[in-house]
Structure 1
């Protein structure tokens, strides 16, 4: 359990990371820090398991001012409780994504906490999110337009959310990369217990813990403005994004994309491997001021030594073929893709 670092006016923010994502985590934290207010105290906690002393030291070195604290918290005790085997991972997702389940218990001493994914860039002060009155809702979040896109274009996705996850209103599926946790309500509801129960019923969720959280939290979500979680990847593989999202949703997305508050580098397409992509420059702006800038550059050079694997799965026509395949073949193709990308 975490004890608040500051006595008052604290802004609790939580990340989770594994060894491979530390460089990008630090860029995300740097972006948050550079958009803080002097009169508030920012209490940043990174959930991890198995990080080296070198990485922990570098992460905590980001505490660059009196009103900024960056701490690392080992979740190994939580993972011992027979849970590790339940947590399925796939594609570019890692086990660290499931640490979200533990947040309400780890942050019992707080009323609310803001969770952010490692592949985000904050372009506004995030403290305003914790000023939002969540009422009896469990979380505050942005609707997941990526899922909307997939439901509208990929056979079997609507059936999965309706029949497997038992979600009634598909328009209200939220994206879990930016979450305001109502800690008190979550603990009253026994979040971890509910999530584990759901994983036993649905052992291979398509979008991992996000599926579980959506199923458990349906009807108890405060929806945020789309600017607070702008997924950069939606246009990249779309055949016609406007028709795939619907006219009104498309216009709201494009407006948010032009002025994002939090930019989310979702999907396997990442700015650290594709710096020429639209909106990638925001990532590199903050990366230059982290301890891992040279490491990120080096990893990018290694990645570019294999241009075939980098470009092959970005071709739009292959993505269109993938969309019309049966679910079983989609799964097999995804396994082959990840094997090549590794």
Structure 2
């Protein structure tokens, strides 16, 4: 399986970033859905307070309607917010029964104009009830607006208008909730896919590292055993140099393999290079600019890794200098091995 350069260790899903638009939708969807359904209930309040059939405006109807709206919206908005997050609250059927009771209880006081708010219990029925019951209960709540309106003395045309008002509001709210839920499920699927990709890539990387280390250790053990049994000092020294070269080359290759899956700042990359050289027995003197911001720089990272690999592959030096300079507000690096007589400066 080819290595994926987009998988970033330490951040699940880093290689599969969700679009910014989807992120914003998921972040604001619960609030938008709650605000939208609250507005649809609130716009019905003026119809309750306004004069009816030539009678004057009655603020008391508005007070009762406002109290009913608050009692209705508290459980309804909680269910809407939970549904946009893909969660179903406990006690949903009891909360649904409470909402229906709240609306029906105030109808004799506030009048038939309050009937369209039955869309809210209908939507809640689709959200909290199981599939065999959700749709029939929601339809019954919406269709029941007609007989309720006729019993309260409105004409058939007005009763049908109430039904359409409730249906259209319910469709609008439920569509918004469904869209948010679908986006949440899509995001969850993307995260799960990214997590699986990270796991597969990590397993592949572990296998590759084990394979390379196994080959290198076998070579080191074989050559080290021969050098231990050899009496010729010159030949033994050559074998030990070969063993050291194999160890350094394996260390460099392993670092390259692991390094492809890390995005680090240039200072972190520099610290890693210093640690690698120190592990190889090479003392390092480093000079860095203090004013340069610490940020990721792919060109710097590639140049430093190439220079360190070349230094380890060549005839090893006892010390080296790493000098970081600034050019066009970006870091540049130079790595130079020192001969035996040279002394490294400190930066």
TM-score w.r.t. length of structure 2: 0.23
Structure ranking higher in strand proportion: 1
* Structure number, greater radius of gyration: 2
Report 1 or 2 for greater relative contact order, CA contacts < 8 Å, sequence distance ≥ 6: 1
Structure ranking higher in helix proportion: 2
TM-score w.r.t. length of structure 1: 0.23
